[in-house]
Copies of this chain bind each other. A is one copy, B any other.
Amino acid sequence: MANLTELMKNEVFMAFATYATIVLSKMMFMSTATAFYRLTKKVFANPEDCSGLGENAKKYLRTDERVERVRRAHLNDLENIVPFLGIGLLYSLSGPDLSTAILHFRLFVGARIYHTIAYLTPLPQPNRALAFFLGYGVTLSMAYRLLRSILYL
């Protein structure tokens, strides 16, 4: 198991593992937020979810702008965090400079947390757009550095 021990002694990899875990936990929080709004606002997608609410339960099978907003934020997270995970993991293994790598990870995680705040509050534009493009740019920057160092077609 020498290798694994070595891998987790690599500072860039440890930093990636830490920031990836934080941003994934943040994304998981969106599920809880959706459930919270569904329950407090009584807005359900499936008949079995509101069958305990009495005879007129079917009227709770509806959509609600608040719930849809959380779901859009969650989907946007998925669309952006999946590339960060894949490209970030490979970038971390390509031997980047530690401080450069950590700067990328911090900017991405900060941008995604701010994106969620801007989406759920909601803050006026361009708050959300800037948070989105910052995270997007960070991922593209890692992709560029990774391909420059290991391109193999």
Range of interface residues on chain A?
35 or more
- Smallest Cβ distance from A79 to chain B, in angstroms? 6
Partner among B25, B80, B81 whose Cβ is within 8 Å of the Cβ of A140: B25
Please report which residues of chain A, range 36-76, place their CB below 8 angstroms from some CB of chain B when the two chains form the complex: 45-49, 51-52, 69, 72, 74-75
Decide if A107 is an interface residue (CB 8 Å cutoff).
no
- Smallest Cβ distance from A125 to chain B, in angstroms? 5
Decide if A100 is an interface residue (CB 8 Å cutoff).
no
- Smallest Cβ distance from A57 to chain B, in angstroms? 12
User: Are A24 and B93 in touch, CB under 8 angstroms?
Assistant: no
Please report which residues of chain A, range 7-56, place their CB below 8 angstroms from some CB of chain B when the two chains form the complex: 7-8, 10-11, 13-15, 17-18, 20-21, 24-25, 27-28, 30-31, 45-49, 51-52
Secondary structure type dominating chain A contacts: helix
Q: Which residues of B contact A52 (CB under 8 A)?
A: 125
> A21-B143, A24-B86 are known contacts; what are 8 more A-B pairs with Cβ within 8 Å?
A8-B94, A17-B146, A18-B150, A21-B86, A28-B80, A46-B72, A78-B79, A81-B82
Binding site for B on A (CB under 8 A): 1-8, 10-11, 13-15, 17-18, 20-21, 24-25, 27-28, 30-31, 45-49, 51-52, 69, 72, 74-75, 78-83, 85-87, 89-90, 93-95, 119, 122-125, 128, 132, 136, 139-140, 143, 146-147, 149-153
